[in-house]
Structure 1
Amino acid sequence: MSNKPVMSPNGINHLAIATSDMKKVLQYFNQVLGMPLASLYWMHGVENTVHGFLVLNETSLLAFVANDQIKSQVDIGVTHSGNPGDPCAGGTMQHLAFNVDRHEDLLAVRDRIRANGIHCVGPMDHGLMQSIYFAGPDGMTLEVAYLSGEDPAKWIDPEVVKMLNISDEELDQLKKPAPFVQPAEPVPNPSLKTANEEYRMVYPQETYELMVNTPDDVLAELTKDNIPPTETDGPKAPPTVEDLQKLQA
């Protein structure tokens, strides 16, 4: 086994979804899909916000974020798709698909969903995978699927590639991403002037500038949290601009 760092993600650590009702959503996935609670605590450094995690497997979790500002405002075609094929705003989750390993598992999950009085459609055979579909809290469109063993490369449709104006060279690059050689020294954040403007997190400008300019080890220490005590006085206050400025001094 190589000791070299892996230069691309190797799976899902957790999916974080906003919810208007933390208790309801935890109970839904616990009862309907059998996901045990992993953790439930005040979200690190975020005022009056709760973070809840459910277990998918040994390395993957399903997470939810809740606070008083998150409302159940479903606008089909914009915020939510309503089904696995309809549109919603770019960057939002069109639908969420969970994995099982076998057809028998898919049927067992389907029966569990229906036994809870929830409509579940499928299985549907998509060639590359087989899937079932159903709805969840806050207007979520949900799927459970397993890969059928088909070669994924068979499902790169030349007509779609041409329609998207992807050249042969670009297609080859998509199939085989360019390797990355990690430098001996850590790569610093790009300067505010040279960073790609399209990909910026949304924070107040002063806070954002301090965050991206603060050394990694200093920021890690500032945001470090501890295991919640048995009794708590409430959420830990988020780092302030003043906190960052003090560390920069």
Structure 2
Amino acid sequence: MNAQTLKLDQIHHVAYRCKDAKETVEFYTSMLNMDFVLAIAEDKVPSTHEPDPYMHLFLDAGNGNVLAFFELPTKPEMGRDPNTPVWVQHIAFKVKDRDTLIGFKEHLEANGVEVLGVTDHSIFHSIYFFDPNGHRVELACPDPKEEEMIKRLDAVKWDMLDEWTRTKKAPQHAAWLHAKELDKK
């Protein structure tokens, strides 16, 4: 098969580590209404054959998207990369619309979860929070003018990437995206 004809279908699953399997399942099922799909537990890692007991969880994030977690009780406590800001590494889930986004925000806050936002990114609107494992989670809904703005961004993406590669300074081709947020401050 020619390499140019190879194409991915979709993400099969995204896996993160968790501190406590049950707490993680309870958070994602009660806070984000995900279905707990399955659990796999073994004493040996199938790919490496390394002896290491684990619990592997799978949650349905909608539309064939699966979020997975591993609890690894014999490993040192999980941490974060100290050189990467906490806002960088996250997983984002799409929700239908702004009403749904606000509904999740209210639900999370009513259950003691600290929520940042709504942040207006022009093409979409987001809220941010942390799961019990310290993973940053984003919920995002499309802006009503998303398609129009995506076209504007698409037209400048390569120029932006080339300028960034040369200068390592933020190109201003899409500065309009967060101009509304900056005006509020």
Deviant stretches of 4+, over 4 Å: none
Determine the structure 1 residue equivalent to 2:16: 17
Determine the structure 1 residue equivalent to 2:111: 116
Q: Deviations over 1:40-82 (max 9, x none)?
A: 122572642211111112411110112223443334634x632
2:45 is the alignment partner of 1:37: no
Aligned partners of 1:19 and 1:71 also within 8 Å: no
How high is the TM-score relative to the length of structure 1?
0.54
Determine the structure 2 residue equivalent to 1:161: 162
Opposite residue 147 of structure 1, the aligned amino acid is P
Opposite residue 154 of structure 1, the aligned amino acid is R
In structure 1, distance between residues paired with 2:96 and 2:121 = 16
1:7 is displaced (CA, Å) by 3.0
Q: Say which SS state the counterpart of residue 53 (structure 2) adopts.
A: coil
In structure 2, distance between residues paired with 1:11 and 1:146 = 20
Opposite residue 113 of structure 1, the aligned amino acid is L
Opposite residue 37 of structure 2, the aligned amino acid is A
Residue correspondence of structure 1 range 138-177 to structure 2 within 5 A: 138-148=133-143, 149-150=146-147, 151-155=149-153, 156=156, 158-165=159-166
Match of 1:52 among 47, 50, 57: 57
Opposite residue 53 of structure 2, the aligned amino acid is N
Structure of larger gyration radius: 1
Residue correspondence of structure 1 range 44-83 to structure 2 within 5 A: 45=46, 47-75=52-80, 77-78=82-83, 81-82=85-86
Residue correspondence of structure 1 range 231-246 to structure 2 within 5 A: none
Q: Say which SS state the counterpart of residue 34 (structure 2) adopts.
A: coil
Q: 1:15 to 1:23 in 2, by over 3 A?
A: same
Count of residues in correspondence between the two structures: 151
Percent of aligned positions that are identical: 23
Opposite residue 162 of structure 1, the aligned amino acid is E
Q: 1:48 to 1:81 in 2, by over 3 A?
A: same
Gaps of 5+ in 1: 1-5, 86-93, 167-249
Q: Deviations over 1:195-229 (max 9, x none)?
A: xxxxxxxxxxxxxxxxxxxxxxxxxxxxxxxxxxx
Structure with more of its chain in helix, by fraction: 2
In structure 1, distance between residues paired with 2:78 and 2:71 = 14
In structure 2, distance between residues paired with 1:152 and 1:161 = 19
1:10 is displaced (CA, Å) by 3.6
Determine the structure 2 residue equivalent to 1:192: none
1:152 is displaced (CA, Å) by 2.3
Aligned partners of 2:53 and 2:74 also within 8 Å: no
Q: Say which SS state the counterpart of residue 49 (structure 1) adopts.
A: strand
In structure 2, distance between residues paired with 1:8 and 1:72 = 37
Residue correspondence of structure 1 range 99-114 to structure 2 within 5 A: 99-114=94-109
Gaps of 5+ in 2: 168-185
Q: Deviations over 1:62-104 (max 9, x none)?
A: 10112223443334634x632x25xxxxxxxx11111112111
In structure 2, distance between residues paired with 1:161 and 1:146 = 29
